[in-house]
Copies of this chain bind each other. A is one copy, B any other.
Amino acid sequence: MLWSGWGDPARARELPEQVRGLLRDFLGVRAPATPAVALESVRLPPVALPEPLLGALAGVVGAAHVLTSHEARVRHTRGKSTPDLLRMRAGDGSDAPDAVVLPGSHDEVAELLRVCSAERIAVVPFGGGTSVVGGLSGVAGGAAPGGPGFAGVIALDLARLDRLLSVDEESLVASFEAGVRAPEAERLLAGRGLTLGHFPQSFEYATLGGFAAARSSGQASAGYGRFDDMVMGLTVATPSGTLDLGRAPRSAAGPDLRQLMLGSEGAFGVITLLRLRVRRAPVERRYEGWRFGTFAEGSAAVRALAQEGPLPTVLRLSDETETMIGLAKPDAIGSGGSGCLLIAGYEGGSVAGRRAEAGAVLSRMGGEPLGAEPGEAWERGRFSAPYLRDSLLAVGATVETLETAGFWSNLPRLYDAVRLALAGSLPSPLVMCHVSHVYETGASLYFTVVTAQEGDPVAQWDRAKAAANAAIVEAGGTITHHHGVGRDHRDACAAELGPAGVSVLQAVKARLDPAGILNPGVLVPPPARDA
């Protein structure tokens, strides 16, 4: 993984001339004044943890698994949001952990939490490092004004928890350690003819534990469900003991505590083990494109599929702007057409029947079939967007994504509110949107924003993000459909949950993490003093 960007540097790509022209002529993008720094030039704070504490951590995991090198610290600094990348490109490593600690088992995680609680060492659980919401930037917010500080902060990297433990082929449940990366999970399952079917944008690097902790949802969610739908059981190490949840697919044995740990983003405990629903690997795959006249017409069509069925495995509808830019075909960016492009993908044992039925609905709702090419182009480029972002950052454009979800009747209001907020807070931005996660009662809206960098690009985006967050809360949407909360959505999430909801999160955190060491500042607002 590129330390200051995404993925394998060998896969970095030049922007097509058409795109560079558009950036220059329509958005006023100009080359940045200073190029990105080299890794060795990133400025890090000195290691705050004293030797005896580093020794105590090494006593748990072995000295070879406590890293304090410049490179290890840089590579565990923050996540992969655009502000995260901009800061790293500028050489700002101020949020680096003091050390990277790699436990080799659930028991070592549990013991680390005990030591860190006793010694007041903040712990940032680290899976693939792909958070785009400040989920790995917990510390600053944790040291509340006047509150007790921390002796230091470690990144708790789960990379060594990398095993497929067992597969129950009758129940179609696979037990994984939480540090397994998604491609490796698919490789291990493919040997048995199985798949998770979870393919988010972060697929190449994210871990199963991270998917669970942040409630990930993948590009094929219409067919395979969200990641939280796949979690049948999970084991969580907390400073107050281990939770081992999930004896049946569903239960009425009280509240579903799995659903309390899913989305807990490392603030309640560290997920170490997952029991996941798997599916038979598809025999057949068909991807195709459809065109609708307007986003409203296309939205009505995807709503019909969600409410009447049948659902394709992948369903993505771009609005007019995203279609024009060609964002659904990242390998052919700039080659878009008019109207709104819909991508429908079908995977399964045999897809003909479902494809015919869904096609009949799309035709009835005004869709024009475009054949296989747009679908296959989307599939080829499905993980390209983060690479494209690096190319855009390099030429002086800020590009970032944000997302929300709501009930169908509220989506037009949400769509307008977010676009208005971004237009009002950025210099003539390009704002694109697609629907790619649908439910019977509603859907998500996923926005991609491109704008020319002006002055301090981090501060510039922070203002736009604040405006978008406020617009989402005000328009009644949820602050995130699948990116998670982290620090960037914490206050908006609190507004969404209300004071009683926030106090529930605080109570659970106080019970499971009484020393407050776990990802401080992320997800859970610190309790008001003397409240």
Contact = CB atoms under 8 A, between A and B. Distances in A.
Interface string A437-468: 10111111000000000000000000000000
A407 B253 contact: no
Contact of A249 (B228, B250, B264, B439): B439
Contacts of A493: 253-254
A259 B256 contact: yes
A507 interface: yes
Interface string A472-485: 00001111111111
A503 interface: yes
Contacts of A307: 172, 280
B232 A407 contact: yes
Given A245-B497, A247-B478, A441-B277, A485 B253 contact: yes
B277 A480 contact: no
Interface string A220-256: 0000001010001000001011111101111111111
B171 A408 contact: yes
A242 to B, nearest CB: 6
Nearest to A443: B249
A233 to B, nearest CB: 9
A349 interface: yes
A252 B173 contact: no
A407 B501 contact: no
B263 A260 contact: no
Contact of A248 (B257, B406, B483, B512): B406
A170 interface: yes
B255 A441 contact: no
Contacts of A265: 254
Interface in A265-299: 265, 268, 277, 279-280
A477 B247 contact: yes
B406 A505 contact: no
Contacts of A226: 250
A516 to B, nearest CB: 14
A530 to B, nearest CB: 17
Q: Is the interface of A mostly helix, strand, loop or mixed?
A: mixed
A215 interface: yes
Interface in A480-522: 480-485, 489, 493, 496-501, 503-508, 510-512
Contacts of A484: 252
Contact of A256 (B262, B268, B279, B485): B262
Interface in A398-413: 404-410
Contacts of A214: 252
B252 A170 contact: no
Nearest to A269: B500
A504 to B, nearest CB: 6
B255 A262 contact: yes
A470 B520 CA distance: 40
Contact of A243 (B232, B240, B485, B501): B501
- Of all A-B residue pairs in the complex, the 5 with the closest CB atoms, nearest first, are A259-B259, A507-B511, A249-B439, A248-B405, A215-B252
Interface of A: 168, 170-173, 214-217, 226, 228, 232, 238, 240-245, 247-257, 259-265, 268, 277, 279-280, 303, 307-308, 349, 353, 404-410, 437, 439-444, 476-485, 489, 493, 496-501, 503-508, 510-512, 523
11 contacts: A170-B408, A240-B500, A248-B407, A249-B439, A251-B478, A253-B480, A256-B262, A257-B501, A259-B260, A260-B504, A353-B353
Given A248-B444, A252-B485, 17 more contacts: A170-B303, A171-B442, A243-B498, A243-B504, A248-B404, A248-B407, A249-B407, A249-B440, A252-B263, A255-B259, A255-B262, A256-B259, A259-B259, A277-B440, A504-B508, A506-B511, A507-B511
